[in-house]
A and B are shown apart, each in its own frame.
Chain A
Amino acid sequence: MQRGAWWLVRLAGDREIGAATLVFCVLIVLPLLLPAWILTELSRYFSYMLLAASLAFVWGHCGMLCLGQAVFFGVGAYTMSVVTLGKLGFAPWLVSSWLGIALGMSIAAMLALVLGVFFFFARGLGGAFFGIVTLAVAVIAERLATGSRWLGGQNGLMGVPALQAGLNAGAEIHDEAVAYYIALGVLGIGVGLTLLLVRSSWGLSLLAVRDHERRAEALGVNIGRRKTEAFVFGAVLAALAGALFASQFNFTSPPLIGFVMSAEVLIWVALGGRGSVVGASLGALAVRLAEAWLSEPLGPLWLLVLGGTFLLTVLVAPLGLFGFLAPRRS
Chain B
Amino acid sequence: MHDLFAALLDVSNYVLILMLVSLGLAIVFGLMNVINMAHGEFMMLGGYVVLVCHQTGLGVLPGILLAPIAIALLGLLVEGLLIQRVYTRVVDTILATWGLSILLKQLVVLGFGPGSHAVPNPLPGLASLAGLEYPAYRLFIMLVTLFALLATFWLFFRTDFGLSARCVIANRGMAACLGIDTRLLDRFTFACGSGLAGLAGAVMAPIVSLDPQMGLGFLVPAFLSILIGGLGSVATPLAGASIVGLTDNLVSTFLSPLWAQGVVFTVAIVLIRFFPTGVASRRPRHL
Which A residues are within 8 Å of any B CB, using their own CB? 65, 118-119, 122-129, 131-133, 135-137, 139-140, 143-144, 147, 259, 263, 266, 270, 300-301, 303-304, 306-308, 310-311, 314-315, 318
The 9 closest A-B pairs by CB, nearest first: A126-B287, A307-B102, A311-B99, A123-B276, A132-B223, A310-B99, A307-B103, A304-B106, A314-B95
Residue of B107, B265, B287 touching A136 (CB-CB under 8 A) = B265
Q: Whose C-beta in chain B lies nearest to the C-beta of A148?
A: B258
**Is B45 part of the binding interface, using a Cβ–Cβ cutoff of 8 Å?**
no
Q: From DSSP, what is the main secondary structure of chain B's interface residues?
A: helix
Other A-B pairs beyond A127-B287, A315-B86, 10, CB < 8 Å: A128-B91, A128-B287, A131-B91, A133-B227, A133-B268, A133-B269, A136-B265, A303-B106, A307-B99, A314-B92
Interface residues of B in 230-268 (CB under 8 A from A): 258, 261-262, 265, 268
Chain B, interface size: which category?
Answer: 35 or more
Question: What number of A-B contacts does a CB cutoff of 8 Å give?
Answer: 104
The answer to whether A128 touches B35, judged by C-beta atoms less than 8 angstroms apart, is yes
The answer to whether B99 touches A259, judged by C-beta atoms less than 8 angstroms apart, is no
> What chain B residues lie within 8 Å of A310 (beta carbons)?
95, 98-99, 102
The distance in angstroms between the C-alpha atoms of A136 and B89, with both chains bound, is: 22
The answer to whether B90 touches A135, judged by C-beta atoms less than 8 angstroms apart, is no
- The contact sample of 26 A-B pairs, CB cut-off 8 A, is A122-B276, A125-B272, A125-B276, A126-B286, A127-B287, A129-B223, A131-B91, A133-B227, A133-B272, A135-B220, A135-B223, A143-B258, A143-B261, A263-B102, A266-B95, A300-B109, A300-B110, A303-B105, A303-B106, A304-B107, A304-B110, A310-B95, A310-B99, A311-B100, A314-B92, A315-B85
Interchain nearest-CB distance for B66 vs A (Å): 26
Q: From DSSP, what is the main secondary structure of chain A's interface residues?
A: helix
Interface string of B77-115 (1 = CB under 8 A from A): 000001001100111101110111011011101100000
> What chain A residues lie within 8 Å of B268 (beta carbons)?
133, 136
The answer to whether B90 touches A300, judged by C-beta atoms less than 8 angstroms apart, is no
Interchain nearest-CB distance for B264 vs A (Å): 9
Q: Whose C-beta in chain A lies nearest to the C-beta of B273?
A: A118
Q: Whose C-beta in chain A lies nearest to the C-beta of B104?
A: A307
The answer to whether A311 touches B103, judged by C-beta atoms less than 8 angstroms apart, is yes
**Is B76 part of the binding interface, using a Cβ–Cβ cutoff of 8 Å?**
no
The answer to whether B276 touches A131, judged by C-beta atoms less than 8 angstroms apart, is no
The distance in angstroms between the C-alpha atoms of A308 and B201, with both chains bound, is: 25
Contacts A131-B94, A263-B98, A318-B92 known; A137 to B103 CB distance under 8 Å?
no
The distance in angstroms between the C-alpha atoms of A133 and B95, with both chains bound, is: 15
> What chain B residues lie within 8 Å of A308 (beta carbons)?
99, 103
Q: Whose C-beta in chain B lies nearest to the C-beta of A139?
A: B220
Residue of A127, A301, A304 touching B90 (CB-CB under 8 A) = A127
